[in-house]
Chain A
């Protein structure tokens, strides 16, 4: 993912993993991540993240994968 076309995806991956890593309260972390994404992410970004999870699952943390289940 080094071309400019992938820049957006790189940032989404970084953002998602960072949210999962930094979310202050660890209870129901998947629920918190999905709630955060619903609150702040456009539908298109959520959709792109789902696509990344499907095509490159290793790039996202387990918490993000769990969050996507309820997103």
Chain B
């Protein structure tokens, strides 16, 4: 009888810390760990192999998201035929190796090591915030430490002070064992290199920057160091305040389009901390300052949890029961319908809400309101992505998964600032750049990626705002005229007629870098070098953001990038692609869910009889075949008196949409404005009904991130409002005469799957089983589709589009000589409704205007001065900050604080195809201001 226990790979618990990262190899080696055979990929450490078979070797400096370091000397093992006791974390498995993890010799050595650690560690376990959640404590137990021969009276570090400068975590150096996990997490995982070990020998200590407090250092507060710390040296303040968590719920972050998976750790109904899930497909265990720490807004005192109504926006709000609020809203909307017709009302969905919540809102508008006047906040961010990628590739979606960047050889970042706006993906990208991939940045600003520790953009095309298409045309011109195209790819995969027309167009002399240099401000050689780098690297990958879409030629620019990728064969495999970095957590999902006025769920036009009849049949109602109005059309119609009522889900258009004065005028003109939100936002000043929304911690449903990954959002705590948002929407729909009797969010997803070919295989059960899935997910791809357009484009043949550069009407003039461009920063999110209600304000308490020294000096403006900013749309005030991140002639600001009124000055210019506002180009003038606020 064979008594040897067999290793079963399926039984490995990858959620536990396996000590060192996994190895990737086609070659398997078989070793024996304490007699048990295990086969692992070549390069796997002995420590990991042992953990896989349940033989957990004591460790302190090792953790499986960091490269092995071999410093703590606790993980020593004995290997038959080899001398000494090597560290298991740094020793790779070799064929036939026989390892012993527990021997009297090892026990003695480990005890000795632990004695040394504990001799210089506070013996305050019972009052330590990490009591019960401390690896040092665990290891002392694991090695059987019972006494410390050296005592605790010798020279030590116990009187070192505590750094409490960071709002979210403390640094207590007296508890530090100098294992370097925090330092390595900061460099390897986050890529910021803010931490180091200062000093030598006994004087070695962890140091933020050059022994500065954390808050004053380069630290970006991602928390990777806190997560990595095996003691209470780096500790969340929430754990110190509340105690060690007692239960866990897996869910998804509600900030940017990366869509990180987290484990919410709670005590009862109170969140103690958010820990990024290392099995999360989007983030693989990493997070940023917002996702990990800035969730306190969910319990902020400003949160409104009771429905409210008022007859007029001049009246005070009147808190009411849900039934009264729903009936009030339904009566008003029905009255408008009766008097002015169904097209006098409409709705806006939110990219901060779940797919299920969005789906029921657009269904209510189409079925209960009886109109296609439904739009989404994606209108003002990525609607050109939808248009451009559908024209060229056949569907509105990024082509890759995030991990694809690990295979990229040249990375082209256009109008995006990943380290601030998509920080977890930014860290992943930086890792690849440190490995040697080339970086090309096309941006008016010197974003962090242009130059930061161990990162340098080989090519920075610092173009003038509004000239994206000219620059892309110039790059493509070089590709087409220097023989850098992938002819085989084009021949096999693309439409020849459109390709030939494109080549003829792009090869014209007027599209050469030399001809366009005066327009773009980028010299021709820089463009040529960048084009060659992208086209000849092997795998060229494009990542872009709102600096592409929020222009009058946003859609043209998306098509220009698609052309470039197709012409160079950079589509349909790992390491390449055209990838929109979505601004909000569920931009992709809200677009997928039929939020655009011309499309049902799954991007199918409302005029398609077959599709419309399918929806009509399932929904039991006749549906309109003509498109509805977009947000700007609804607002224009409101101002002209034709549009009277709107349902706004989780969106603050009075702050986020351009030309605030016009938005306000439109909202004031309506007879029924319904706002569903967490807080009384700027838009609610014009509302008649306020329906309290739920935070992501209360939601049950799914978000879809920028890589089309559908992630579960699970209720971490009970709803503070008494109703889920989808339940409130369904109640309103029913009160208007169209019941939507769902029992659960899962049931809503089942209907989405029934009606949407790309979601046909999606269900909550599948998501719970797989963790997440990337659409299309159906019979052809039962576990999803990480890479799109592999063998053929969704539309069949890739379609080239000619992309003539058309200058925006918004140009600098003598009256408005500077070009304002806008963006976001790491610590804040969009209009700041969430992050302003957290301690993140310590990093960004107000919006400021970045201005080049020459422009400031010419206007008598000094750093920190209050200035007045005027455009043809309006005027506002904020402080100036002298910056060399922007060229002369360009100014830059953020829009995170309503008091800044950034969108008071942005204009109503928009993308020609989609009406996405041109936030990125506003001609302005500035002058010193004696007053502080408008």
User: Is there an interface contact between A39 and B556, defined as CB atoms closer than 8 Å?
Assistant: no
User: Is there an interface contact between B637 and A8, defined as CB atoms closer than 8 Å?
Assistant: yes
B803 interfacial by beta-carbon distance below 8 Å: yes
Cβ contacts under 8 Å, A5 to chain B: 639-641
Query: In B266-298, which residues have CB < 8 Å from any A CB?
Result: none
User: Is there an interface contact between A24 and B804, defined as CB atoms closer than 8 Å?
Assistant: yes
User: Is there an interface contact between A8 and B556, defined as CB atoms closer than 8 Å?
Assistant: no
Cβ contacts under 8 Å, B627 to chain A: 39-42
User: Is there an interface contact between A42 and B801, defined as CB atoms closer than 8 Å?
Assistant: no
State which of B343, B501, B639 has its C-beta within 8 Å of the C-beta of A4: B639
Q: Given A39-B627, A43-B626 in contact, is the A22-B640 Cβ separation under 8 Å?
A: no
A59 interfacial by beta-carbon distance below 8 Å: no
How far, in Å, is A33 (CB) from chain B's closest CB?
11
Q: Given A4-B639, A4-B665 in contact, is the A22-B908 Cβ separation under 8 Å?
A: no
The number of residues on chain A lying at the interface, defined by a beta carbon within 8 Å of a beta carbon of chain B, is 25
A51 interfacial by beta-carbon distance below 8 Å: no
From B35-43, B73-81, B299-307, B628-636, give the one contacting chain A: B628-636
B777 interfacial by beta-carbon distance below 8 Å: no
A66 interfacial by beta-carbon distance below 8 Å: no
Cβ contacts under 8 Å, B639 to chain A: 4-5, 7-8
Interface bin, chain B? 35 or more
Cβ contacts under 8 Å, A26 to chain B: 802
Bound-state CA distance A38–B915 (Å) is 16
Cβ contacts under 8 Å, A8 to chain B: 633, 636-637, 639-640, 642
Cβ contacts under 8 Å, A4 to chain B: 639-640, 665
B559 interfacial by beta-carbon distance below 8 Å: yes
User: Is there an interface contact between A11 and B913, defined as CB atoms closer than 8 Å?
Assistant: no
Cβ contacts under 8 Å, A21 to chain B: 806, 912
Q: Given A4-B665, A5-B640, A40-B598 in contact, is the A11-B629 Cβ separation under 8 Å?
A: no
How far, in Å, is A51 (CB) from chain B's closest CB?
13
Q: Given A5-B641, A24-B559, A45-B629 in contact, is the A11-B908 Cβ separation under 8 Å?
A: yes
A71 interfacial by beta-carbon distance below 8 Å: no
Query: In A20-71, which residues have CB < 8 Å from any B CB?
Result: 21-26, 36, 38-45
B605 interfacial by beta-carbon distance below 8 Å: yes
Q: Given A5-B640, A40-B598 in contact, is the A18-B912 Cβ separation under 8 Å?
A: yes
User: Is there an interface contact between B640 and A7, defined as CB atoms closer than 8 Å?
Assistant: yes
Contact string against A for B residues 580-603, beta-carbon threshold 8 Å, 1 for contact and 0 otherwise: 000000000000000001100000
How far, in Å, is A55 (CB) from chain B's closest CB?
16
**Chain B residue at minimal CB-CB distance from A19:** B912
Secondary structure class of chain B's binding surface, majority of residues: loop
User: Is there an interface contact between B640 and A42, defined as CB atoms closer than 8 Å?
Assistant: no
How far, in Å, is A67 (CB) from chain B's closest CB?
14
State which of A24, A38, A41, A44 has its C-beta within 8 Å of the C-beta of B802: A24
Q: Given A24-B801, A25-B802, A39-B598 in contact, is the A44-B343 Cβ separation under 8 Å?
A: yes
Contact string against A for B residues 913-933, beta-carbon threshold 8 Å, 1 for contact and 0 otherwise: 101000000000000000000
Bound-state CA distance A65–B670 (Å) is 33
Q: Given A18-B912, A42-B633 in contact, is the A25-B801 Cβ separation under 8 Å?
A: yes
B476 interfacial by beta-carbon distance below 8 Å: no
Contact string against A for B residues 536-563, beta-carbon threshold 8 Å, 1 for contact and 0 otherwise: 0000000000000000110010010000
Cβ contacts under 8 Å, B628 to chain A: 42
Bound-state CA distance A42–B915 (Å) is 14
How far, in Å, is A50 (CB) from chain B's closest CB?
15
Contact string against A for B residues 627-663, beta-carbon threshold 8 Å, 1 for contact and 0 otherwise: 1111011001101111000000000000000000010
State which of B343, B597, B636, B912 has its C-beta within 8 Å of the C-beta of A11: B636
Cβ contacts under 8 Å, B607 to chain A: 38-39
Bound-state CA distance A40–B375 (Å) is 12
How far, in Å, is A4 (CB) from chain B's closest CB?
5
User: Is there an interface contact between B343 and A7, defined as CB atoms closer than 8 Å?
Assistant: no
User: Is there an interface contact between B640 and A24, defined as CB atoms closer than 8 Å?
Assistant: no
Cβ contacts under 8 Å, B637 to chain A: 8
Cβ contacts under 8 Å, B633 to chain A: 8, 11, 42, 45
User: Is there an interface contact between A42 and B913, defined as CB atoms closer than 8 Å?
Assistant: no
Cβ contacts under 8 Å, B630 to chain A: 40
Bound-state CA distance A42–B637 (Å) is 12
User: Is there an interface contact between B552 and A22, defined as CB atoms closer than 8 Å?
Assistant: yes
How far, in Å, is B612 (CB) from chain A's closest CB?
14
State which of A15, A38, A42 has its C-beta within 8 Å of the C-beta of B343: A42
Bound-state CA distance A70–B628 (Å) is 20
How far, in Å, is A58 (CB) from chain B's closest CB?
18
How far, in Å, is A29 (CB) from chain B's closest CB?
12
**Chain A residue at minimal CB-CB distance from B628:** A42
Cβ contacts under 8 Å, B803 to chain A: 24
User: Is there an interface contact between A11 and B632, defined as CB atoms closer than 8 Å?
Assistant: yes
Cβ contacts under 8 Å, A19 to chain B: 912-913
How far, in Å, is A38 (CB) from chain B's closest CB?
8
Query: In B335-374, which residues have CB < 8 Å from any A CB?
Result: 343, 372-373
Bound-state CA distance A26–B508 (Å) is 15
Cβ contacts under 8 Å, B915 to chain A: 15
State which of A11, A24, A25, A42 has its C-beta within 8 Å of the C-beta of B626: A42
**Chain B residue at minimal CB-CB distance from A27:** B501
How far, in Å, is A18 (CB) from chain B's closest CB?
5
Cβ contacts under 8 Å, A7 to chain B: 636, 639-640, 662
User: Is there an interface contact between A22 and B629, defined as CB atoms closer than 8 Å?
Assistant: no
Bound-state CA distance A40–B552 (Å) is 17
User: Is there an interface contact between B665 and A22, defined as CB atoms closer than 8 Å?
Assistant: no
Q: Given A11-B908, A45-B629 in contact, is the A22-B806 Cβ separation under 8 Å?
A: yes
Query: In B224-274, which residues have CB < 8 Å from any A CB?
Result: none
Bound-state CA distance A15–B911 (Å) is 9
Bound-state CA distance A7–B597 (Å) is 21
How far, in Å, is B562 (CB) from chain A's closest CB?
12
Cβ contacts under 8 Å, B605 to chain A: 39
Bound-state CA distance A39–B603 (Å) is 12
How far, in Å, is B171 (CB) from chain A's closest CB?
54
Bound-state CA distance A26–B804 (Å) is 10
Most buried by B among A15, A22, A36: A22
Cβ contacts under 8 Å, B598 to chain A: 39-40
Bound-state CA distance A11–B553 (Å) is 17
User: Is there an interface contact between B632 and A36, defined as CB atoms closer than 8 Å?
Assistant: no
User: Is there an interface contact between A42 and B629, defined as CB atoms closer than 8 Å?
Assistant: yes
Cβ contacts under 8 Å, A45 to chain B: 629, 633
User: Is there an interface contact between A22 and B556, defined as CB atoms closer than 8 Å?
Assistant: yes
How far, in Å, is A65 (CB) from chain B's closest CB?
18
How far, in Å, is B662 (CB) from chain A's closest CB?
8
**Chain B residue at minimal CB-CB distance from A15:** B915
Cβ contacts under 8 Å, B641 to chain A: 5
Other CB < 8 Å A-B pairs besides A8-B636, A38-B607, A39-B627, 6 of them? A7-B640, A8-B637, A8-B642, A21-B912, A23-B912, A24-B556
9 A-B contact pairs sorted by A residue (CB < 8 Å): A5-B641, A8-B633, A15-B912, A25-B501, A39-B598, A39-B605, A39-B627, A42-B373, A42-B628
Interface residues of B (CB under 8 A from A): 343, 372-373, 501, 552-553, 556, 559, 597-598, 605, 607, 626-630, 632-633, 636-637, 639-642, 662, 665, 801-804, 806, 908, 912-913, 915
Interface residues of A (CB under 8 A from B): 4-9, 11, 15, 18-19, 21-26, 36, 38-45
Closest 5 CB pairs of A and B: A22-B912, A8-B636, A8-B640, A18-B912, A43-B626
